[in-house]
Amino acid sequence: MSHAQTLSLIDVRLDRYDQGGAPVRLLDIDSLVIPAGLKIGIAGPSGAGKTTLLDISSGLLTPTTGRVTWGDNQISGLRAGADALWRRLTLGFIFQDFHLLPELSVLDNILLPAWFGSFRAPIELQGRARELASRLRLPDMDRPAGVLSRGEQQRVAIARALLHDAALIIADEPTANLDAVNGAEIINLLITEAERRKATLLVATHDAALLARLDQVIHLKDGRIGVVP
């Protein structure tokens, strides 16, 4: 069981300084507080700042001003190394392009985050990887990830994100590269797995079917939060 906490972004601004021009404000959020275990969708047109919001929430980007916190931990401004540890143990990242290592097996891809911290994956993580694989219908764990179908690849990516029992699952367009059938399956898996561990789910997506399954949808436009229904 994960220990989700409140994710809050307070007075977060992100500016990009281009050579010779005035700074461009990519993100401008006065206050966004997401209670533990909530499933949040981030919608909006391309370039609205959806991915930027995810990157800031995951600590990959440091805001120009403002604070990002996870419970009592300030994510923005964690030391190098500490931020990696936080991401490894707390965060589950799911990408639009899956980003598996095609040369490694399904099992090794799922176990990948374990090797960032220890030489041998602990027995319990190996057990969890197998359990995740069977729950996500990936029976042949020795197949190289490169030969899997897109739907299977995204299932492996979800299993990889959940290896450390993530409390915060961040998914960037997880269904954009999938057909309707596979997309629907991935939506089910994401919702089920997030609910199973009461994890906070943050999904940037255009997929109406996915947005419909979430607790709340944040609409972003030009880096600002619009309507919160």
Beta-bridge mates of residue 218: 42
Note whether 112 binds another protein by CB under 8 A. Answer: yes
In a 3-state reduction of DSSP, which class is residue 153? Answer: helix
Residues 169/190, Cβ–Cβ less than 8 Å: yes
Note whether 116 binds another protein by CB under 8 A. Answer: yes
> Would you report the helix, strand and coil content of the chain in percent, each value rounded to 5?
35, 25, 40
The DSSP output letter for 16 is E
Residues 167/199, Cβ–Cβ less than 8 Å: yes
Minimum CB distance to another protein smaller for 104 or for 184:
104
Minimum CB distance to another protein smaller for 33 or for 89:
89
Note whether 80 binds another protein by CB under 8 A. Answer: yes
- Looking up tokens 């995204």 gives 154
- Site size for another protein (CB under 8 A): 33
**Binding-site string for another protein from residue 128 to residue 167, where x marks contact by CB under 8 A and - marks none:** --------------------------------xx--x---
Q: Residues interacting with another protein, by CB under 8 A? A: 51, 55, 58, 60-61, 80-81, 84-89, 91, 93, 95, 99, 101-104, 108, 112-113, 115-120, 160-161, 164
